[in-house]
Amino acid sequence: MFSKFGSSGIRGVANTEITPQLALNFGLAVGSVYREVVIGHDPRIAGEMIEHAVISGLLSAGCKVLRAGMVPTPTLALTSKVHGCGIMITASHNPARYIGMKVFKDGMSLDTGQQEEIEDLLENEKFTRADWEETGHLDVFGTAIKEHSEIILKNTGSSDLKVVVDCGCGAASVITPYILREMGCVVITLNSQPDGHFPGRQPEPIDENLKLLKSTVKAAGADLGIAHDGDADRMMAVDDQGRFVSGDKMLAFFAVREARKAIAVPVDTSRVVDDMLNGIKISRTKVGDVYVAETLKKIKGEFGGEPSGAWIFPKISLCPDGIYAAAKLVEIVEHEGRFSRLLGSIPEYPVKRGAFPCQDRKKAMTIIAERLERLGEMDTLDGIRVDIDDGWILVRPSGTEPKIRITVESQDRCEELYEKAEEIVKGAIA
Ligand code: MG
C-alpha cells in the first residue's frame, strides 16, 4: 500500500494512489497517537472525500475532531499549537489531480521521528479502536482564519500600497486579499475564487505560471504582486516593474531583515545569503521545508527559507507562512520604498540547474562521489556539494522522482562548472 511519508507527508493521485481506504487508515493511525485533531482542506476536488474518510478513522480511534473547513496550510498549522494535532488535506503546489495529507504538531510539520511513528502504525495496521461508547466527537472549528488573521495583523503595520494578489484559485483566496485590505492596501485580485480545477493557472508559483500577474502589476501601476501556491504555505512576488523575483533574491530580501543571530536554509541556497549576512550563523539543511523547520527549532533561529517560496518566521510558527510573508513584504515596501530599488541592492549570482533520468540512483551517486571528490572538499548533507573558490556544485538524487539533479552557482565559471558536473553525472548513469 502507498503509505510512505515524504518530506511533505503523504501525497499522490486522488482516488488511485490516495484512496478513502488509505485515508481511513491514516485517520486511525493519527488518532491512535493524538487525542484531539483539527482538520482542514484546500479547494482540491478530492479534498472533502479524503477529509471524510480521515475523520471516520480519527473518530473510530476515539479522537475529538474539530473541522476547520477550507483553510490554508499555515492557518491549520497554527491551530495545532493549541489543539494537539492538525491534519491538512492538500497536495500543495502539485497539479489538480493530486491530493495528500500532512500532519502538524505545535505549529510545525511532524519531525522525522514523529512521522516514523505514524508510518509504522499505518504500515502494520496497529490501530487503537475505541469501544462503541467511546468513539470520538466531531465539532465545527470556525475561528481558524480569524485567529491567523489577528496574529498577522498584530505583527504588521498599515499600508496604502496598491497590490495585485494572485491566489491561483487556492486556499489563500479566503484570507490574503482580506488581510491586505485590512492593512489599508488597495487590492486587485486574480484567481481568488477557490476552485479545485485550478482553471486560472498551475498552482506552483513559478515565473512561467505568473504571466497574468506580471502583466497586471504593470498595467495597474501596482507597487508589487503576490502569488501563492494551492495551500498558501508558499509566496512569491513580482516587483513594481512587473518582473518575477527569483527565490534566491526573495530569500536574501527577508533574511537580511529578519536575521539577528541565526538562520537556516537548504544546501542548494545561493551564496548571496552568506555574502549579505555578515556575523549571522547560517545553518544549511537537507532540501525540504521540514528540515529547515527542524533545524530552526534546534538553533532557535529567527528566519528560515527555501528558494521555492517557503518562508518560515518562527515568531508566527515553524510552518512556512505565505500569508504572513505577503503582509510582511507589503510592510517592508511601505516603509523602505520602491520594491525594484530594494531588490537592486541584492546581487544575483549565475545559477544553472538540470535533471537527468536515472533508475539506480544509489549506484550512480557512488560513482559520482568518486569523481566529484577530485574537485574539492565534499559535503554530503543532502547529495554531494563541492565548494570551489568561486562557486559550488550540488549533485543530488531527487527524493520524489527517478532523477539526479545538478545545481551549479558561480560568478564567472557557471557554464564551465555545469558542463563538468554534467559530464560526471552522464558518465555515472550511462
Ligand atoms: Mg504548499
Mean pLDDT score, 306-327: 97
Higher pLDDT, 50 or 399: 50
Percentage of residues of the chain with pLDDT beyond 70: 98
pLDDT at 5 over 90: no
Alpha-carbon span 203 to 219, nearest angstrom = 23
Joined grid coordinates for residue 100: 495528500
Rounded Cα gap, residues 342 and 31, in angstroms = 48
Distance from residue 153's CA to the centre of ligand 1 (Å) = 22
Q: Copy the grid coordinates of residue 168.
A: 491561483
The H or E element that residue 393 is part of is strand 391-397
Low-confidence winner among 55-64, 114-123, 194-203 (lowest mean pLDDT): 114-123
Taking the centre of ligand 1 as the mean of its atom positions, its distance from the CA of residue 128, in whole angstroms, is: 31
E strands along 42-128, which residues? 64-70, 85-89, 98-105, 108-109
How sure is the predictor about 1, in pLDDT bands with cuts at 50, 70 and 90? very low
3-state secondary structure of 403: strand
- What average pLDDT score do residues 235-259 get? 97
- What's the average model confidence in pLDDT over 400-424? 92
How far does residue 386's CA lie from ligand 1's centre (Å)? 30
Q: Each residue of 173-186: pLDDT tens digit?
A: 999 999 999 999 99
Region 383-411: what's the mean pLDDT? Answer: 91
CA of 423 to the centre of ligand 1 (A): 34
Average of per-residue pLDDT across 250-275 = 96
- Higher confidence at residue 149 or residue 111? 149
89 in Cβ contact with 40 (< 8 Å): yes
The average pLDDT across 196-203 equals 97
Q: With bands split at pLDDT 50, 70 and 90, how would you rate the model's confidence at 377?
A: confident
State yes or no: pLDDT of 16 exceeds 80: yes
- 12-21, 46-55, 82-91, 395-404: segment of lowest average pLDDT: 395-404
**What was the pLDDT predicted at 202?**
96
Length of the chain: 430
The predicted pLDDT at position 390 comes to 86
C-alpha cell at 355: 535533471
Strands 303-306 and 262-266: parallel
Ligand 1 centroid to residue 8 C-alpha, Å:
9
Per the structure block, which three cell numbers stand in for 389? 573558490
Average confidence score pLDDT of the chain:
95
pLDDT average, residue stretch 153-180: 98
Question: Is pLDDT above 60 for 252?
Answer: yes
CA of 205 to the centre of ligand 1 (A): 10
Backbone Cα Rg of the chain: 22
Please, which residues have CB less than 5 A from ligand 1, an ion? Answer: 92, 229, 231, 233-234
Give the residue among 274, 259, 362, 363 at the shortest CA–CA distance from 314: 259
Which of residues 2 and 35 earns the better pLDDT score? 35
Instruction: Check residue 402 and give its pLDDT.
Output: 85
270: region left, alpha or beta (phi > 0 left; psi from -120 to 50 alpha) = beta
Mean pLDDT computed over 192-204: 97
* CA 325–ligand 1 middle distance (angstroms): 13
What is the residue whose three cell numbers read 545545481?
A: 407
Q: With 90 as the cut, is the pLDDT of residue 2 above it? A: no
CA of 323 to the centre of ligand 1 (A): 12
Mean pLDDT across the stretch 245-265?
97
Adjacency order of strands within the sheet including 310-312? 281-285, 262-266, 303-306, 310-312
Enzyme catalytic residues: 92
Q: Which of 46-55, 66-75, 216-225, 380-389 is predicted with the least confidence, judged by mean pLDDT?
A: 380-389
Q: What is the mean pLDDT of residues 411-416?
A: 93
Span 217-224, mean pLDDT? Answer: 98
Q: Which pLDDT score, from 0 to 100, does residue 112 have?
A: 84
